């Protein structure tokens, strides 16, 4: 019934439902988060982290249900076989719009651990959201540019050490870390400005992926290469809420992490840096070709 409504009414109902769902679950989440902040007892914090994750996943479950009842077109999902709830995964994905995140949350819900992503260390001070990210064990990391390290060589290795420390909490529980290698959402303007050699993708950045592998590579079951494709074109949040999201294709492909990469430092190890850059470039070539094949199949159907 919701799908038959005009887009503005559909969107208003969707936005209201999302707001109510967020408000409902944010109350217990922040109450538990405050207890976790005030009682720095490691064993208690681990138990509270489990509870906080369950609250966040309940929020995701309702959001996913709302998405399902308002969805106009079917989804085609492949590659989920063999994924484990008790495994740990490093996920690298192309980035089309903000809708990518709720789509990934729905696709991987209860199939792998709760999705998290690395955040800049400064974001922990963002009002309200910073506390929520901290409480949900989102890893905060410090990154130094090559230019900064050239001027301050004493800082070499500090970012990796900071990331490793942030990831120590995952020694006690499985996790899934999401990384958009392009660093920003795809647009035709950005594609042209970059002079991207790919048809459907921006240039990937290997640094974030390398930092995660260097910090906690031995904990990951696999790297999950995820490709999200919108044959009818991507939409932003309002398009999702108002029922304008068309067909969605999600392909998941696992890759093992080479043992030689474990514990490596992207900033100081040129062999590791060259190897992972080459690997990422090949991954992106294959992803670009896959997107082209899927779009051709849909448009020729």
Each residue's pLDDT tens digit, 98-120: 999 999 999 999 999 999 988 87
pLDDT of residue 277: 96
pLDDT of residue 243: 86
CATH at residue 251:
3.40.1130
The mean pLDDT value for 264-288 works out to 93
Model confidence band, residue 213 (pLDDT cutoffs 50, 70, 90): confident
Q: 70 and 2 in contact (C-beta within 8 Å)? A: yes
The mean pLDDT value for 183-204 works out to 95
Residue 55 resides in a domain? no
- Kindly report the pTM of this predicted structure: 0.89
Residue 56 resides in a domain? no
pLDDT of residue 7: 81
Whether residue 36 is predicted with pLDDT greater than 60 in this model: the reply is yes
Token reading at 218: 């031995």
Model confidence band, residue 6 (pLDDT cutoffs 50, 70, 90): confident
Whether residue 161 is predicted with pLDDT greater than 70 in this model: the reply is no
Q: What are phi and psi of 158, to 5 degrees?
A: -65, -40
Q: What are phi and psi of 216, to 5 degrees?
A: -150, 30
Whether residue 125 is predicted with pLDDT greater than 60 in this model: the reply is yes
The mean pLDDT value for 184-203 works out to 96
The mean pLDDT value for 28-51 works out to 94
Residue-averaged pLDDT of the chain: 88
The CA-CA-CA angle for residues 65, 66, 72, to 5°, reads 100
Strands across the sheet containing 222-229:
75-78, 248-255, 222-229, 89-93, 176-180, 115-117
pLDDT of residue 194: 94
pLDDT of residue 146: 59
Least Cα distance to 210 among 167, 262, 135, 157 occurs for: 262
Residue 38 resides in a domain? no
- Percent of the chain's residues with pLDDT above 90: 61
- Percent of the chain's residues with pLDDT above 70: 89
Structural domain harbouring 185: 73-300
pLDDT of residue 8: 83
- Is pLDDT larger for residue 205 or for residue 144? 205
Residue 251 resides in a domain? yes
Residue 285 resides in a domain? yes
Residue 247 resides in a domain? yes
Residue 21 resides in a domain? no
Residue 24 resides in a domain? no
Distance CA 297, CA 301 (A): 6
pLDDT of residue 255: 96
Whether residue 151 is predicted with pLDDT greater than 90 in this model: the reply is no
- Tracing tokens 């998405």 back to the chain, one arrives at 67
Whether residue 148 is predicted with pLDDT greater than 60 in this model: the reply is no
Considering its fold, how many domains does the chain have in total? 1
Distance CA 105, CA 48 (A): 21
pLDDT of residue 265: 82
């Amino acid at each position: 019934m919701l799908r038959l409504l005009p887009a503005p009414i559909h969107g208003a109902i969707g936005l209201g439902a999302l707001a109510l769902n967020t408000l409902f679950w944010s109350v217990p989440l922040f109450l538990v988060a405050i207890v976790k902040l005030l009682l720095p007892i490691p064993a208690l914090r681990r138990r509270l982290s489990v509870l906080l994750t369950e609250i966040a996943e309940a929020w995701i479950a309702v959001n996913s249900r709302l998405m399902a009842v308002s969805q106009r077109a079917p989804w085609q999902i492949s590659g989920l076989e063999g994924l484990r709830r008790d495994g740990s995964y490093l996920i690298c994905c192309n980035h089309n719009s903000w809708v990518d995140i709720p789509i990934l949350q729905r696709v991987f819900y209860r199939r792998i651990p709760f999705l998290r992503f690395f955040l800049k260390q400064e974001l922990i001070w963002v009002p309200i959201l910073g506390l929520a990210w901290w409480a949900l064990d989102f890893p905060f990391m410090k990154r130094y540019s090559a230019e900064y390290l050239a001027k301050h060589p004493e800082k070499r290795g500090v970012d990796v050490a900071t990331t490793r420390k942030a990831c120590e909490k995952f020694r006690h529980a499985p996790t899934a870390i999401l990384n958009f290698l392009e660093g920003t959402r795809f647009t035709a303007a950005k594609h042209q400005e970059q002079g991207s050699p790919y048809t459907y993708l921006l240039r990937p950045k290997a640094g974030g992926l390398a930092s995660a592998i260097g910090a906690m590579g031995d904990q990951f079951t696999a790297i999950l290469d995820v490709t999200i494709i919108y044959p009818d074109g991507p939409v932003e949040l309002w398009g999702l809420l108002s029922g304008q999201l068309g067909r969605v294709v999600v392909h998941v492909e696992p890759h093992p992490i080479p043992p030689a990469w474990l514990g490596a430092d992207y900033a100081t190890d040129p062999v590791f840096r060259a190897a992972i850059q080459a690997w990422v470039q090949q991954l992106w070539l294959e992803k670009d070709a896959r997107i082209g094949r899927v779009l051709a199949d849909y448009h020729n159907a």
